[in-house]
Amino acid sequence: MAVKETKSIQLSADDFTFVHKGERITDKQFEDKPVSYMKDAWRRFCKNKASVAAAVIIICIVLYAFITPMVSPLNSRFMDSYYSKKAPRTRYISALGILDGGVGRDFSEKGLVRAVGIGVGAEDWAGTGQVTIGDALKSKYQPMLWISDPVEKMNAKKEVTRNYSGKIDVYLEVGFMYLSVSQKEYEKIVAYEKESGLHILYPLVEDNQWNADASDANNWFKTKKNAPVHVNEKGKGVVQDYSEDLILEDNYKRDADGNPIYYEYTGGGTLETAQFKVRALYYNYYVYKNGFEPYYFLGTDSQGYDLALRLAGGIKLSLLVAICVSVINFIIGAMYGAVEGYYGGWVDMLMERVSDILGGVPFIVVATLFQIHLSNQVGPIVSLLFAFVLTGWLGTAYRVRTQFYRFKKQEYVLAARTLGARDRRIIWRHIFPNSLGTIITSCALVIPGVISSESMLSFLGIVKLGSAGSTSLGTLLADSSAIWTNYPHLMICPAIVLSLLMICFNLFGNGLRDAFNPSLRGVED
């Protein structure tokens, strides 16, 4: 076996420094300063890039939940059923074709005329009949954002049909509505039209053979089997094909002089009680009623609430429930586990039997029973908290008990007991701080578990947290479960937020576990 040669180092007197009594010499290269426990934990946490990224995402989600209600012109209770299930629409980037309220759709020739006809009718508010489809395509109220070239096909009757693809603004697609307003309200609308220049009231439509559906205010032009027609001198309807030069023939109600009729008396006898039937362009009527245009950053939910506000409310509610449960479980579990782990023996055995009994109770059964018998008295949120707390602290208690069994025989504990320290001091000043890393991790991991369970209960309908003022992420998912294929944004937005919360809280908890682990104190990566 070869022996490795070592080189000897020769030291001279010049390599040593002599000091006088009472002096202290240090090498700045190896000089170090004491680091506090929290500072050292923070330093280790910051080195965990995944945990830091998770914490940033959690902070962003929380800020979104609190800032969105403050900057939104709407409140959480605002609802418009006519604009339910609508796509995202913003003011500033809609010109780029992004978040413009548009959805892609295929149109038959009749369907395209009907959609474009909303813009034609909006521009021809005076009933002149001079607005072409080409002119209406440039209108602010034209719902068709773009239209492809036609694709011609031969149907079973050997007739040529034209199909189009396009993108339609689902807010402008609502078009016209029949409304019942008081005479006083009618006069207010007329005054608002003169002041603002917006046209809200449009001519009423005749209920005759050329009206396919008298209850639909968008059937303002003459049709035959939903196709636009021109009524000739013989009183027959000649079907017209779609083209930009096409002028749709109106079917408005007119007086003896041929002037369009804008309202119809339906009942009442005074200025306050007289009711008028009017036909309104709903987009402008919305502006008149609310003072702003319908812009929804994330669209609207199945009932017509602002999805961005509902999502913010769902985040706040889910986090509030999760944090409250985590704190309560931490307190109960820490005290319970510390007592049984420190004293052991018959105390531990008795308390463990109680834990076994509670642990055998199914959580979903407890939550269901609490919602049936308790929610009417204290509300669904409080009853849900009771359901989580009844058995939720068992995991924390088990972890604390395990840590106390691990540390209570250590030398520093024996030394403290020898010096006369009381049990309470030993538990909370010596053993508990060394268990803090595991306990904090368990508490951080409780939060995603609670959010997941609450969302599951809300999704299944066991817990009903949806109301005019608040909702939860699970309720948003439940409301969209039957319609998400047609309105994917209703499912995508809460699902993404819920997934981020689950993943990020788990990564955040792992980072806290490593940061507060005393055995890693002073260890460099």
Whole-number Å distance between alpha carbons of 274 and 280 = 18
Q: Extract the tokens encoding 41.
A: 């934990």
The more confidently predicted of residues 64 and 1 is 64
Whole-number Å distance between alpha carbons of 517 and 503 = 22
Question: Of 35-44, 228-237, 287-296, which range is least confident?
Answer: 35-44
Can you give the pLDDT at residue 14? 66
Residue type, 82: Y
Q: Which residues does 35 contact at the CB level (< 8 Å), separation at least 6? A: 43, 522
Can you give the pLDDT at residue 199? 92
Whole-number Å distance between alpha carbons of 437 and 415 = 23
Express as a percent the part of the chain with pLDDT over 90.
Answer: 18
Structural domains in the chain plus CATH codes: 54-67+304-520 (1.10.3720.10), 87-290 (no CATH)
Examine the pLDDT at 138 and tell me if it is beyond 50. yes
Most confident of 158-167, 328-337, 468-477, 507-516: 328-337
Average pLDDT score over residue span 449-453 = 85
Can you give the pLDDT at residue 60? 94
Can you give the pLDDT at residue 466? 65
Average pLDDT score over residue span 485-499 = 89
Partner residues linked to 164 by β-bridges: 107
Helix (H, G, I), strand (E, B) or coil at 224: strand
Can you give the pLDDT at residue 416? 79
Average pLDDT score over residue span 200-222 = 90
Which residue do the tokens 């024996």 mark?
Answer: 414
Average pLDDT score over residue span 398-402 = 85
The more confidently predicted of residues 442 and 255 is 255
Q: Which residues does 373 contact at the CB level (< 8 Å), separation at least 6? A: none
Output the CA torsion sign for 310, 311, 314, 315.
negative
| Confidence tier at 24 by pLDDT (50, 70, 90) | low
Q: Which residue, 151, 150, 147, is CA-closest to 168?
A: 147
| Confidence tier at 324 by pLDDT (50, 70, 90) | confident
Can you give the pLDDT at residue 83? 92
Average pLDDT score over residue span 351-373 = 84
Examine the pLDDT at 40 and tell me if it is beyond 70. yes
Question: Of 112-126, 278-292, 385-399, 412-426, which range is least confident?
Answer: 412-426
| Confidence tier at 1 by pLDDT (50, 70, 90) | very low
Examine the pLDDT at 481 and tell me if it is beyond 90. no
Examine the pLDDT at 267 and tell me if it is beyond 50. yes
Average pLDDT score over residue span 231-254 = 85
Can you give the pLDDT at residue 273? 78
Averaged pLDDT score across all residues of the chain: 83
Can you give the pLDDT at residue 380? 79
